[in-house]
């Protein structure tokens, strides 16, 4: 039977395994940004494409396989990118189950795995998963080239860049695929019309103060990050493509959509879908002043009344930028503070001072921008005392929200290579790389076990969000209903097998 479509992009689910009881209401339901971008690129290249968001519809692998069969595409690409870099690996359990279900139902259906995890471990992924192909780069170029090759009676996979495939009982890999550089033209935003926009929902904290959590959208304005934090795997999909740009191995690519292209997307989702709550998904949005100011100036002209949040580093928020962010609609900024100890931060290439932390938080809050502070327990040089100092710092800063993480050796990060070299215990299943899963297993430190780190993290979460000073601040800023919501949030207890 002749295929109906060139390509179906599947966003895998698994949120209940990943987030436990938090998945039902507290966690965000985010649009699959990378699937939307790949669909946009495929359309530019003349392919017919659909997106199947298994997560937002809570579809089982068997139902996904059934819907794929109904659509009858030449190629199914299971897109294992997540809402943050770590989410690629933690979603592999669900992605693998979907591949298995598709191949059991239709053994001849061509299935590709693409995403950060696949790019970090392409040989292992092809060996272990029920997929015909694995992409070892960022994805769009490989996906399109493979879909085009499959139009041929006898496709030549050796000519598809960035591809791992089976040739009899052997694995083959091809030359790197180029990273896209002209983003405005080659990947002009997200294919919003292929997504069920009414189903997406913002994070609970993003809408503190009674703001409606739907509708919601997330988008990129840049790709990559010039920094090299050792616990981060953000660059894994881009490294092979960077070789074609003649970048040094330790240099990271950083590409941008133009401010005009970004704001055209925002105009569209505001006008078409009524979106006000927006996440800028960039690993580091507040970085290039010309880029940030260009976007802010255009948003200020529009006056959409947005509720945006974005990531920044403590040392990238410059004088004069904060007021402009607020006027453009940025109500929240997420800061990677990580640890109280400068020595601990230096060990993972986070080089800023404690003075800068306090100054940046004070500058944002004085302007009326809420801060979500990110902390990591269990960095290599952490002890019980340094982790207590980090919790003390969090309580002193008393930001409007905080994320507490345990250090994970995510595939594609320098810490993963270190863990392998030192024979540290890693999770037995990919779900164990989730911060909130039952089988979550962080790294040990040079002084503490993984179980000690995980228990400290869970205890710190409760200490922070039940702190009287925190609840008093929340009541002043957001009202009594938000305090009740926070109390309900802390009533959830994560089950752990390794704490």
pLDDT tens figures, 410-421: 998 888 898 999
List % helix, strand, coil for the chain (3-state, nearest 5). 45, 15, 40
Nearest to 32 by CA among 14, 56, 16, 50: 56
Specify the pLDDT at position 412. Answer: 87
CA gap 217, 222 in Å, rounded: 16
Specify the pLDDT at position 343. Answer: 58
Higher per-residue pLDDT: 235 or 304? 304
Q: Are 349 and 229 contacting, i.e. CB atoms less than 8 angstroms apart?
A: yes
CA gap 251, 239 in Å, rounded: 9
Specify the pLDDT at position 20. Answer: 56
CA 177 to chain centre: 22
- Domains contained in the chain, CATH given: 5-173 (3.40.50.280), 201-221+257-407+442-489 (3.80.30.20)
Helix (H) or strand (E) holding 377: strand 370-377
Using the predicted structure, report yes or no on whether residue 345 has a pLDDT greater than 70.
no
Higher per-residue pLDDT: 84 or 466? 466
- The angle formed by the CA atoms of residues 189, 192 and 198, to the nearest 5 degrees, is 145
Specify the pLDDT at position 25. Answer: 72
Higher per-residue pLDDT: 27 or 90? 90
Using the predicted structure, report yes or no on whether residue 491 has a pLDDT greater than 80.
yes
pLDDT in tens, 388-441: 999 999 999 999 999 999 999 999 888 889 899 999 999 999 999 998 888 999
Nearest to 30 by CA among 361, 262, 278: 278
pLDDT in tens, 166-192: 998 899 999 999 899 999 999 999 999
Specify the pLDDT at position 494. Answer: 84
Residue 430, burial from CB neighbour count under 10 angstroms (0-12, 13-18, 19+): buried
pTM over 0.85? The answer is: yes
């Amino acid at each position: 039977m002749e295929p109906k479509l060139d390509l179906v992009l599947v966003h895998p689910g698994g949120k209940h395994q990943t987030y436990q009881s938090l998945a039902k209401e507290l966690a965000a339901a985010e649009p699959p940004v990378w699937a939307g971008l790949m669909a946009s690129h495929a359309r530019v290249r003349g392919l017919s494409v659909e997106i199947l968001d298994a997560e937002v519809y809570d579809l089982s692998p068997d139902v996904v396989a059934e819907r794929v069969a109904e659509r009858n595409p030449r190629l199914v690409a299971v897109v294992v990118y997540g809402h943050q870099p770590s989410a690629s690996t933690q979603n592999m359990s669900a992605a693998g189950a979907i591949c298995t279900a598709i191949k059991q139902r239709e053994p001849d259906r061509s299935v590709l795995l693409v995403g950060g995890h696949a790019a970090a471990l392409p040989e292992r992924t092809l060996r272990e998963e029920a997929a015909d192909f694995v992409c070892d780069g960022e994805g769009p170029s490989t996906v399109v080239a493979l879909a085009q090759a499959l139009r041929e009676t006898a496709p030549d996979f050796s000519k598809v860049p960035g591809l791992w495939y089976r040739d009899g009982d052997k694995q083959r890999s091809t030359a790197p695929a180029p990273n896209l550089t002209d983003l405005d033209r080659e990947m002009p935003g997200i294919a919003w019309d292929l997504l069920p926009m009414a189903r997406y929902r913002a994070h609970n904290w993003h809408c503190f103060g009674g703001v409606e959590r739907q509708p919601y959208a997330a988008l990129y304005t840049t790709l990559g990050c010039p920094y090299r934090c050792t616990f981060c795997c953000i660059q894994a999909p881009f490294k092979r493509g960077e070789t074609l740009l003649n970048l040094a191995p330790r240099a990271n690519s950083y590409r941008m959509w133009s401010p005009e292209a970004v704001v055209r997307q925002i105009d569209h989702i505001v006008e078409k879908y009524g979106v006000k709550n927006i996440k800028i998904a960039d690993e580091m949005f507040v970085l290039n002043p010309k880029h940030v100011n260009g976007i802010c100036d255009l948003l200020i002209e529009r006056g959409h009344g947005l509720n945006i949040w974005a990531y920044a580093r403590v040392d990238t928020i410059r004088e004069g930028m904060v007021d402009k962010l607020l006027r453009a609609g940025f109500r929240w900024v997420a800061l990677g503070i990580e640890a109280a100890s400068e020595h601990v931060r230096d060990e993972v290439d986070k080089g800023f001072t404690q003075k800068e932390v306090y100054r940046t938080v004070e500058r944002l809050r004085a302007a009326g921008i809420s801060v979500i502070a990110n902390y990591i327990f269990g960095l290599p040089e952490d002890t019980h005392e340094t982790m207590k100092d980090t919790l003390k710092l969090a309580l002193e800063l008393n930001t409007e929200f905080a994320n507490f993480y345990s250090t994970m050796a995510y595939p594609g990060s320098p810490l993963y290579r270190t863990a392998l070299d030192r024979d540290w215990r890693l999770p037995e299943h990919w779900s164990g790389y989730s911060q909130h899963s039952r089988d979550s297993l962080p790294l040990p430190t040079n002084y503490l076990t993984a179980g000690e780190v995980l228990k400290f993290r869970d205890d710190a979460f409760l200490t922070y969000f039940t702190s009287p000073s925190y609840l008093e601040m929340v009541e002043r800023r957001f009202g009594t209903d938000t305090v009740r919501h926070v109390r309900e949030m802390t009533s959830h207890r994560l089950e752990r097998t390794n704490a």
